[in-house]
Amino acid sequence: MTLRPGWPEDAPALARAIDHEAVVRNLSRVPWPYSIEAAETFLAHWTDTRFLVFEHQGGSVALIGCIGIDSAGDERHELGYWYTPSAWGKGYATEAARGVLAAARAAGIRRVTSRHAVDNPASGRVLRKLGFQPTGHVEPLWSKGRGGEMACIGFELDLELQGLGCGDMRAAA
């Protein structure tokens, strides 16, 4: 697996990788159907806290997802990610997130939030593996892909108190 920034020439591969209704329906800001123009716009507004995820198999390299931590305002940071269906269940989400969270911690970020659609429990399992704790809040979030609201479960991770993917370190203290 390789994580790297997105480049303008990645637009066709990005549009192909995310072009699955099962992926887009769990995202808030991604339109369905996803066009090459949407990929170009996304890549034109790239931030240094986002990464494309590539899988290496049999001498080939394929774009399989995107992960990043975006500023949510007021010193808040939110982890977001998506993976193409061919990458589901292979551990890429957890592995890539561990690297991104380690970089966030090194950059001085202390608290990261995330959320997942209620009807997407696989993302909840990933967040729990990373040490995120449920906030107890379920809130509606507009989803461009669904064309309506989706109920989302909130999570948070205190990078000062928890190891990355090692469970709740507070219990060991």
pLDDT, tens only, 80-92: 999 999 999 999 9
Among 12-16, 49-53, 78-82, 159-163, the least confident range: 159-163
Residue of higher predicted confidence among 29 and 125: 125
Q: What is the mean pLDDT of residues 145-172?
A: 74
Closest residue by Cα to residue 100 from 138, 130, 145, 62: 130
Q: Span 2-172: which CATH code?
A: 3.40.630.30
Is 168 a residue whose pLDDT tops 60?
no
Grade residue 162 by pLDDT with cuts at 50, 70 and 90: low
Closest residue by Cα to residue 86 from 20, 160, 14, 38: 20
Angle between helices 36-44 and 11-18 (to 10 degrees): 120
Is residue 53 within 8 Å of 3, Cβ to Cβ?
yes
The model carries a pTM of: 0.88
pLDDT of amino acid 172: 33
Alpha-carbon torsion (142, 147, 149, 153), positive or negative: negative
Give me the percent of the chain exceeding a pLDDT of 90.
78
Q: What is the DSSP letter of 8?
A: G
* Segments making up each domain of the chain, as ranges: 2-172
pLDDT of amino acid 166: 46
